């Protein structure tokens, strides 16, 4: 019985560690490992530099995502958590580095090819 309790505690600890890394650690690791290159001595002034942040294919959720009905609670929950993830990414990586330009690449929405111009 004691070995089952130990195994349960070990699995709970591993789950908690994975959850914390996914929710906080990955953002801090990216934040700590990124920096703008320092200006070289050959450039006369820092005004000649443009800092560009590239966000590739964010895949925001929309009414065509996952085949869920547009008014479903499940789609609203998915949209909420996707938006929270994008907000956390933006706040932890983009805001501290203050880029001059933010460049978005890709079709921004999950259902890009299926949406009408009005949507």
pLDDT of 54: 84
pLDDT band of residue 14 (cuts 50, 70, 90) is: very high
Sort strands 52-56 and 101-105 into parallel, antiparallel or unpaired. Answer: parallel
Is residue 13 pLDDT above 70, yes or no? yes
Cβ atoms < 10 Å from Cβ of 60: 15
**DSSP label at 66?**
G
Instruction: Report the pLDDT value the prediction gives residue 119, as an integer from 0 to 100.
Output: 62
The whole-number average pLDDT for the span 73-80 is 84
Predicted confidence (pLDDT) at residue 97 exceeds the cutoff of 80: yes
| CA atoms within 13 Å, Cβ hemisphere of 21 | 6
Q: Does the predicted TM-score (pTM) go above 0.75?
A: no
* 83-99 mean pLDDT: 81
Do the beta carbons of residue 89 and residue 27 sit within 8 Å? yes
pLDDT at 15 (0 to 100): 93
Cα(60)–Cα(111) distance, rounded to whole angstroms?
9
Alpha helices in 1-117 (DSSP H): 2-20, 26-33, 73-89, 95-97
CA–CA gap between residue 23 and residue 31 (Å, rounded): 14
């Amino acid at each position: 019985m004691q070995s089952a309790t130990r195994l349960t505690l070990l699995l709970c600890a591993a789950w908690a560690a994975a959850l914390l890394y996914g929710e906080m650690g990955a953002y801090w690791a990216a934040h700590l490992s990124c920096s703008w290159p320092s200006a070289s001595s050959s450039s006369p002034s820092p005004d000649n530099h443009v800092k560009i942040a590239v966000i590739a294919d964010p895949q925001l959720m929309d009414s065509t995502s996952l085949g869920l009905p547009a008014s479903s609670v499940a789609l609203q929950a998915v949209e909420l958590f996707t938006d929270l993830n994008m907000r956390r990414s933006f706040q932890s990586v983009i805001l501290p580095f203050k880029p001059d330009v933010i460049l978005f690449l890709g079709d921004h929405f999950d259902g890009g090819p299926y949406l009408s111009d009005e949507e």
